[in-house]
Amino acid sequence: MRTTPTALLLLCLTLGATLPLTASVPNLTPNLHRVARWGQAELVELLLENGADTEERDIMDRTALHHAARHPRVVRVLVEADANPNARDRFDNTPLHMATIDYDSVRLLIAAGADVNAANSVNRTPLDIALRQGTSRRNREIVRLLIEAGAR
C-alpha cells in the first residue's frame, strides 16, 4: 500500500498532533510554507483547518502566500482563508512580485486586492518584473493583465 503525504498528515492530525505540524518552530520554515511552496493545496487546507496561521512569517519574513505564488490552486485556498495579498517580505516583495510567471496566480491575487503598483526595496513593481521575463505569449498576457488592473 502506498501512503501519500496527505494521508500521513491527516493521520497525524487525527491522532492529535500539533507541534510542529501547525505550530511555529523557531528558525525553521513553517510547514504551511513548505506545502504551499510544493503546490500541495490539499495539505494547505488540512493545515489551515487545524490551526495553521496564514500570516506566520519565515526567516525571510515571507508568508505562505509568498511561497504559494506560483501555484494558483494554493493561492486560491490561502486567499479564501484571508491571507494578506499585500504582505511584504524582508525585501518588500509582495506575493504578486513572486507570482509574475503564473497568469492564474496573478489574476487571483489581483482579484484579492493585491497592489499592482507595490514597489519592492529596489523599486521594482510586479509589472517591472513581468517585463523582464521575456516576450513569450504567456508573459505578454501577464503584462496585459497587470496593466488592465492599473499597473504603471
Q: What range defines the domain where residue 76 resides?
A: 5-148
The residue that leads in pLDDT, 24 or 80, is 80
CATH of the domain at 92: 1.25.40.20
Listed as own residue / partner, the contacts of 50-58 with beta carbons closer than 8 Å and 24 or more positions apart are 50/13, 50/18, 50/21, 50/22, 51/18, 51/22, 51/23, 52/22, 53/24, 54/78, 54/81, 54/82, 54/83, 54/84, 55/83, 55/84, 55/87, 56/24, 56/30, 56/32, 58/29, 58/30, 58/33
Nearest Cα neighbor of 110 from 133, 130, 134, 91 is 130
Q: Number of structural domains, the chain?
A: 1
pLDDT digits (tens, 9 = 90+) for 91-141: 999 999 999 999 999 999 999 999 999 999 999 999 999 999 988 899 999
